[in-house]
Structure formats: structure tokens, C-alpha cells
Amino acid sequence: MSTSTDNASIVSPTTEIMTSTVFDELGLERDSDNIYLQIIGAMLHAAEILEVPHHIQLILAQPKNEIMVHFPVLMDNGNYALFKGYRVQHNNALGPYKGGIRFHPHVGLDDVKALSALMTMKCSLVRIPFGGGKGGVKCDPRALSEDELMRVTRRFVCAIAPQIGPDDDIPAPDVGTTSQVMAWFADTYMQISEQTNAPAVVTGKPVEFGGSLGRDKATGQGVIDVLAEMLPDIGLTFASSTCSVLGFGNVGSWAAKLYSERGGKVCAVMDHTGAVYHKDGLDITALDEYARDHHGIAGFEKTPSGAEAITEEQFYSVKVDVFIPAALEQMITKEKADLLNCKLIAEAANAPMTPRGERALIARGIEILPAILCSAGGVTVSYFEWVQNRANQYWDLEKVDDELNRHMVLAARRTQLARHRFGVDMRTAAYIGALEQIAQVYKVRGIFP
Ligand code: GLU
């Protein structure tokens, strides 16, 4: 990893590098406020540096399939509501499409397209034999009853069932979906398809229904595995470092828990309900229990934990070594980036920063470990779950953790190597590490006919 002086001279993936002629050929605007175009711009920038053949750049700049469905669901009050769902299949050169299903009020086509492209890159960077996909239903799962949630899930599966399958496209959990949702998903698919025993159609299932040990914590574990590899480069260890975590859902809470288990101090956490701080490190086990019972962390300061409540601005300004954004996309705007007081950012969420936010951070010499590397632990253990389902096997936790660590460490080294070889920022380096594999596979497969 280079010093801050080196970083200041590194070009960041923003509007200025949306220079690829692919944008004009496909009639895409150079709009850096659009998350899909941002991601494609950064990917094409890396592809140019790696000299990926032009026709492969064209293929990767658009998803293969964009599926949009509408379906009615009976609500508890006896009325029917119409829901909109998406499944975008970005690329399957390396294997079946793979990626989560998100239930959120702001799900839209461009985000799902962007996230599906990130999945293609993630799977390739960690060298698992999957392509990239993503899906979602525009709904607020917190406002649905358990029964409504189940009916939304089952009807969504019916709508997309012809397009998915254990050899074709394998969904998984994402924001707003849980292992229970995946259990309903698998059950519905098995009821309506010809395949009565196909748990591998979806990953992130409960362990008793074909889920893998270690899948729940996998994304958070992957962040920690990458940090273990990268922290020494800036002269830190877990035990000597402090961090703050944005988001306290599955990924944020596991990352925080594992960070503190390694001896690090998690000084500040913020979620959608509030923010809390402790200068000597928060008690993450207590915070996790509290957040489960109270559906958020607000009010934790009233427990005898020694934590104090802080404002959003104070949260972003806390001086820490590592900042872990583990919430939604595009939350780190330029204004938030200017407040941050850290040395290293580990992106546990997908695309957590805007281009202006990212540019400001790079100019200040803050190192950014990109999402396609840091957040790839979840899909990696999803791959292990799929392998176990296909082979009718159950791996123990030690094997899952060891294999995950191996994939994450190799992906981190691949990224560092590309960074040194091409003199680029970490994000571009990670894209290069991913594109090397995809370009090679296209080269040997060729383009049909
Ligand atoms: N939704 C997760 C992600 O964005 C996991 C995807 C999967 O396990 O397929 O990486």
C-alpha cells in the first residue's frame, strides 16, 4: 500500500475518467450522479488500462438481461397491493448469475443494474465460478407483517422462476432480506419448478434447510480478513487500531463484533436510528443484543454501557484509524467525506461513496479498500453453500472460515499486485484483478458462433 503522497497523484474513478468510447457507442450519458454509469465508468477505466479487447468492454457495459415484473399480493387487510420486482443478470461468462435480492422502498432499475455489475466483478476477483446478478422488490419490509413478507416473497419467486435455477441464476440475501426469506424462496421454487430437491437455487438459507455454517457472518468476516492483510501496510494491527462503523445490520454488526474480538476498539457506530460513541471502544456484544431487542441502536446510551449518544456530524468526525461503511449505497457524499478523520476506509457496503466524496478522500491521502474486494465474503460463502448443496455435504465452520480466508487473502494480494504493477488506486486495481480473469475466459471461449 502506498503513502498518502502517492495517493494524491493517483487518478480516481470519477466523471473525468468516463472517457471510454463505449459510452458513445452504447448511447450512455456521462452522468456521474447515476450509480450505474459510475460503476461502468470505473470498470471501463480499469479495462482500458488492462487493454481488455473492445468488444468485451462493450459486452460488460450492459447487463445481458433486465427482467422487470409486477405481481399482486393479498395484504392482511383483505386488499390487494401491486408490487414491482427486478432481476438483472449482468454477465455469466464465468458461471451462473449470482447475487442478492433486496427488499427496500428505493429499489430501482439503475441500482439493481449497478449492483449486478459489481457482483460480476466481485465473483471474478475472488475467483469463484459465478457471474453477476442482482434483484429486488420495491417494498418496505419493516412495514409488512410476517405473512405479507412471505406472500411477497413467494409471488416474486413465481414471477422470476422461469429465469432462475441452480445452474442458471442463484439469488441470495441482501439489504432487507433474511435467511427466512431465502427459505420461503427455496420452498416456493421447489414447489413450482420441475425440481423438487433444488435447495441450491438460492443461498443464505437457514442452516437446517441447507444453509452453510458461517454464511451469516461471512461478509463481515471477509472485511476482517482483508483488513488483517492490509492493516500492517499502514503500520497498524487490530489491537493498535480504532474504527467506526456506519450501519449495524448483518454486515456492520458482524464486522464490528469481529473487529473487537481481534482486540480493536470500535469507538463509534451509527445506524438509521442514531449514533453512539465510547472513546475506549463500545461493548459490541451488548450493542448487538440491544439493537436486536430495540430494532436499532438509539437509546443504547441509556444502558450502563458507558456509551454516549452523538449526532450524525459528530459520528462522521470521530478520529479513528479505520472507517467501515456498511450501510446503503452513495451515503458518503463530499460533505460527509470532508468530515471523515480516518486513515483507511474498508467498503463493506456496495458503492458507499459518491464520486465527489471519493475524490475528496483520495486527495486527502485516505486509502479506500473497494467493495468488490472488502464485501466479497458473503458471496464467497454462498458459493461454498452451493457446493455443499450440490454434493449433499456439510462443511464444519473451521473449513468454511479457512476457505473463505484463502479466497479473501488471495483477492487482496491480487489487488495489491495490480496496484503496484499499474500504479493505480485500489478500486481500479481491484477491477483489474477481476477483469484479468473475465478477459481470459472470453479469450478461450470466444464469441458464439
Ligand atoms: N448480497 C450479497 C452481496 O452483495 C451476497 C450475494 C450472494 O451471496 O450471492 O455480495
Nearest ligand 1 atom, CA 382: 8
Give 244-270 pLDDT, tens digit per residue.
Answer: 999 999 999 999 999 999 999 999 999
Q: Mark whether 36 and 91 lie in a shared domain.
A: no
Q: Nearest to residue 321, comparing CAs of 369, 392, 379?
A: 369
- Residue 142 in any domain: the answer is yes
Question: Which secondary-structure segment (H or E) carries 69?
Answer: strand 65-74
Q: Mark whether 149 and 177 lie in a shared domain.
A: yes
Over residues 217-246, the mean pLDDT reads 97
Q: Mark whether 23 and 70 lie in a shared domain.
A: no
pLDDT range class, residue 122, cuts 50, 70, 90:
very high
Whether residue 9 has pLDDT greater than 60: no
Over residues 123-147, the mean pLDDT reads 98
50 is written with which cell numbers? 488492462
Q: Mark whether 222 and 369 lie in a shared domain.
A: yes
Nearest ligand 1 atom, CA 173: 1
Check residue 6 and give its pLDDT: 42
Q: What is the DSSP string of 287-318?
A: HHHHHHHHTSSTTGGGSTT--EEE-HHHHHH-
Q: Mark whether 272 and 314 lie in a shared domain.
A: yes
- Residue 328 in any domain: the answer is yes
Structural domain ending residue among the three candidates 60, 76, 101: 60
In the numeric block, the cell 450522479 is attached to 33
Check residue 29 and give its pLDDT: 87
Q: Mark whether 231 and 149 lie in a shared domain.
A: no
Structural domain ending residue among the three candidates 374, 391, 419: 374
Residues in contact with 108: Cβ distance below 8 Å, sequence separation at least 6, in sequence order: 138
Check residue 273 and give its pLDDT: 97
175 CA from centroid of ligand 1 (Å): 9
Phi, psi at residue 377, to the nearest 5°? -65, -35
- φ/ψ bin of 133: left (φ > 0), alpha (ψ from -120 to 50), beta (otherwise): beta
End-to-end CA distance of the chain: give it in Å, rounded.
44
Check residue 194 and give its pLDDT: 86
Q: Mark whether 143 and 45 lie in a shared domain.
A: no
- Residue 317 in any domain: the answer is yes
Q: Nearest to residue 415, comparing CAs of 438, 436, 442, 401?
A: 436
Q: Mark whether 102 and 157 lie in a shared domain.
A: yes
> Coil, helix or strand for 249?
coil
Q: Mark whether 166 and 26 lie in a shared domain.
A: no
Share of the chain above pLDDT 90, in %: 92
Share of the chain above pLDDT 70, in %: 96
CB-based contact 382:172 (threshold 8 Å): yes
pTM of the model: 0.95
- Residue 205 in any domain: the answer is no
User: Which residues are bridge partners to 104 per DSSP?
Assistant: 138
> Coil, helix or strand for 211?
coil
Structural domain ending residue among the three candidates 198, 231, 256: 198
DSSP 75: -
**Domain encompassing residue 46:** 7-60
pLDDT range class, residue 79, cuts 50, 70, 90:
very high
Phi, psi at residue 331, to the nearest 5°? -80, -25
pLDDT range class, residue 1, cuts 50, 70, 90:
very low
- Residue 152 in any domain: the answer is yes
The set of catalytic residues is: 134
Over residues 313-324, the mean pLDDT reads 98
- Residue 441 in any domain: the answer is no
pLDDT range class, residue 4, cuts 50, 70, 90:
very low
Q: What is the CATH number of the domain that holds 188?
A: 3.40.50.10860
Q: With the CA atoms of 103, 219, 376 and 425 taken in that order, what torsion angle do they form, in degrees rounded to the nearest 10?
A: 100
Q: Mark whether 230 and 250 lie in a shared domain.
A: yes
Q: Mark whether 165 and 111 lie in a shared domain.
A: yes
Give 340-398 pLDDT, tens digit per residue.
Answer: 999 999 999 999 999 999 999 999 999 999 999 999 999 999 999 999 999 999 999 99
Q: What is the CATH number of the domain that holds 239?
A: 3.40.50.720
Q: Mark whether 369 and 230 lie in a shared domain.
A: yes
- Residue 381 in any domain: the answer is no
- Residue 332 in any domain: the answer is yes
- As for how many domains the chain has, the answer is 3
102 CA from centroid of ligand 1 (Å): 10
HSE at residue 260, side-chain half, CA atoms within 13 A, is 22
342 CA from centroid of ligand 1 (Å): 27
pLDDT range class, residue 193, cuts 50, 70, 90:
very high
Nearest ligand 1 atom, CA 375: 10
Q: How many CB atoms lie within 10 A of CB 138?
A: 15
